[in-house]
């Protein structure tokens, strides 16, 4: 607070007091001179008139001096009030005071300029506080440093305007970034859940495809057995046909032999008849020959009868053999058709089995890509939670989510469950994944630990936080690379690239 009391003239009477004492002294001198003159020389009208004139002039001078002292007092009061911040007071009624009036008006001009200066500053900053930067202080009419000061304030307000625009843009960007980050994590988690569901469904489809491929292979083996059995049946039917053909040929030969026997029997019968005729001619001497001839005739009759009976049997046998041969040929035709059909069915089933196997491998490849995408998405969600935790610093859900170490997240659980088993156990990319994944978690944890320090005042702490997150991002790129490499290796194993 400004001290309005000045001790410069302490101990010295003020001008008003000096004027009173001086006036009294002058009047005392004039009175004493008048009394002495009257006593020495008597009463003289000229002395009386001169004393009256001098007294009048002294009185007028005292009155003017008192006006001047009053103006000085008002100047002092005005300056005192101005020191207290009341710049609206002015010194007036200074006509006829000469230099003192000039000083008073100069003070009034100064106060007008100072008041205008502060009014312009107050108006400009009041408008700035209301968000209006289009009312700068007016420097016209203000000379020297005050005009320069207002122009500097105008430049400062312009800078404040630019800074306010930047702050508004940063605020908008910050709010949008916060909203985007919040929705991004929410959307990522929804996508994460969708990928989990797709992965489970794909695994189920993959298992069913593998089962179908196995069943198709087993069915293909059964078709091969059926094909072998049909081939065996075809071969047997072919053998039966050949045997029937041989029997038919033998039956024809037997029929021809029987025909020969019938001819021989007819000739024997004819010879027996001729022998009987000759025995009859011989009389008594030919009686024994006649008996033999009769027996031979009877024998030839029996032979012919037997041959005819066998011929009838052979004819029936031949018909049956022809029927069997016809049936055998039909059976051979049917078995050939069945063989062709089974071969076609085997070819189609073989194609189906191959397609099922290919589908099973493709589904497994898709499941691999989906699961690795899910793992990468989990990794991205982990980093986003880390950035949110660093920005909000309230140790909320995101902060708790990133407190897990590299063995507790989804990627870590999958990695260490398959460390000594599974299809990736011998993969070089799989082995190289552990170190960068561990560094991602340790770097994020390091950044979160640094946030608890006085980072707002210590630039080295801020730089350390940024360096830790840069290390996490660098390690994250390595994690993504090795996961993609594992996917590529698995695709090559499945023959899909």
At 265-289, the pLDDT tens digits run: 777 777 777 777 776 777 666 666 6
pLDDT at 7 over 70: no
Alpha carbon distance 478, 300 (integer Å):
113
| CB distance 411 to 378 below 8 Å | yes
In a domain, 65, yes or no: yes
In a domain, 141, yes or no: no
pLDDT band at 238 (very low <50, low <70, confident <90, very high): confident
Question: Token pair for residue 195?
Answer: 């990928």
pLDDT band at 27 (very low <50, low <70, confident <90, very high): low
In a domain, 125, yes or no: yes
In a domain, 427, yes or no: no
DSSP 494: T
Q: What is the pLDDT of residue 2?
A: 46
DSSP 215-267: HHHHHHHHHHHHHHHHHHHHHHHHHHHHHHHHHHHHHHHHHHHHHHHHHHHHH
Phi-psi region of 317 (alpha: psi -120 to 50; beta: other; left: phi over 0): alpha
From the number of C-beta atoms within 10 Å of its C-beta (0-12, 13-18, 19+), residue 185 rates as buried
In a domain, 369, yes or no: no
Question: Token pair for residue 461?
Answer: 């702490």
Q: If you search the block for the tokens 């007036």, which residue do you land on?
A: 92
Question: Token pair for residue 210?
Answer: 């593998």
At 167-226, the pLDDT tens digits run: 776 666 566 466 556 556 665 666 666 667 666 766 666 666 666 667 666 766 766 777
Question: Token pair for residue 137?
Answer: 């202080």
At 439-476, the pLDDT tens digits run: 999 999 998 888 888 877 788 888 898 899 999 999 99
Q: What is the pLDDT of residue 1?
A: 45
pLDDT top residue among 9 and 250: 250
pLDDT mean over 82-110: 76
pLDDT mean over 26-32: 72
Sign of the alpha-carbon torsion through 365, 371, 374, 380 = negative
Alpha carbon distance 199, 414 (integer Å):
14
At 419-440, the pLDDT tens digits run: 555 666 677 888 888 899 999 9
In a domain, 259, yes or no: no
At 157-168, the pLDDT tens digits run: 888 888 877 777
Average pLDDT value over all residues in the chain: 75
From the list 328, 300, 365, 309, the residue with the least C-alpha distance to 236 is 328
From the list 379, 378, 382, the residue with the least C-alpha distance to 447 is 382
Q: Model pTM?
A: 0.50
In a domain, 118, yes or no: yes
pLDDT mean over 28-32: 74
In a domain, 250, yes or no: no
Q: Which domain holds residue 40?
A: 15-130
pLDDT band at 66 (very low <50, low <70, confident <90, very high): confident
Q: Write b or e for each residue in 312-322: b if 16 or more Cβ atoms lie within 10 A of its Cβ, otherwise e.
A: eebeebbeebe
Q: How many domains does the chain have?
A: 1
């Amino acid at each position: 607070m400004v001290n309005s009391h000045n001790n410069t003239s302490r101990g010295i009477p003020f001008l008003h007091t000096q004027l009173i004492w001086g006036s009294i002294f002058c009047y005392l001198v004039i009175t004493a001179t008048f009394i002495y003159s009257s006593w020495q020389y008597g009463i003289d009208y000229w002395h009386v008139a001169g004393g009256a004139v001098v007294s009048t002039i002294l009185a007028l001078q005292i009155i003017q001096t008192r006006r001047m002292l009053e103006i000085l007092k008002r100047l002092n009061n005005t300056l005192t009030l101005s020191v207290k911040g009341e710049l609206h007071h002015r010194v007036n009624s200074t006509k006829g005071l000469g230099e003192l009036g000039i000083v008073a008006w100069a003070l009034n001009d100064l106060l007008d300029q100072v008041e205008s200066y502060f009014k312009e500053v107050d108006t400009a900053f009041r408008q700035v506080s209301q968000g209006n930067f289009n009312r700068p202080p007016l420097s016209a009419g203000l000379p020297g440093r005050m005009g320069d000061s207002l122009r500097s304030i105008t430049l400062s307000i312009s800078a404040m305007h630019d800074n306010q625009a930047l702050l508004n843009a940063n605020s908008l960007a910050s709010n949008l970034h916060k909203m985007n980050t919040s929705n991004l994590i929410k959307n990522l988690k929804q996508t994460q859940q969708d990928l989990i569901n797709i992965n489970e469904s794909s695994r189920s489809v993959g298992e069913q495809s593998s089962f179908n491929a196995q069943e198709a292979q087993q069915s293909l083996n059964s078709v091969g057995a059926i094909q072998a059995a049909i081939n065996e049946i075809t071969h047997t039917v072919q053998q039966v046909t050949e045997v029937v053909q041989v029997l038919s040929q033998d039956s024809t030969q037997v029929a021809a032999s029987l025909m020969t026997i019938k001819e021989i029997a007819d000739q024997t019968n004819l010879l027996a008849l001729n022998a009987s005729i000759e025995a009859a001619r011989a009389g008594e001497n030919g009686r024994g020959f006649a008996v033999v001839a009769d027996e031979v005739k009877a024998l030839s009759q029996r032979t012919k009868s037997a041959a005819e009976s066998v011929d009838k049997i052979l004819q029936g046998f031949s018909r049956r053999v022809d029927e069997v041969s016809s049936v055998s040929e039909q059976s051979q035709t049917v078995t050939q058709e069945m063989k062709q059909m089974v071969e076609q069915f085997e070819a189609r089933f073989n194609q189906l089995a191959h397609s099922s196997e290919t589908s099973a491998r493709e589904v497994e490849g898709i499941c691999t890509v989906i699961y690795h995408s899910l793992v990468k998405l989990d990794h991205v969600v982990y980093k986003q939670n880390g950035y949110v935790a660093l920005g909000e610093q309230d140790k909320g859900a995101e902060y708790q989510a990133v407190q897990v170490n590299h063995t507790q997240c989804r990627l870590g659980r999958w990695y260490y469950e398959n460390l000594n088993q599974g299809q990736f156990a011998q993969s070089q990319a799989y082995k190289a994944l552990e170190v960068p994944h561990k560094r991602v978690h340790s770097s994020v944890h390091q950044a979160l630990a640094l946030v608890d320090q006085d980072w707002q005042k210590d630039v080295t702490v801020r730089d350390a936080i940024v360096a830790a997150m840069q290390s996490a991002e660098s390690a994250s790129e390595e994690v993504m690379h090795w996961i993609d490499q594992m996917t590529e290796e698995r695709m090559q194993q499945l023959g899909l690239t």
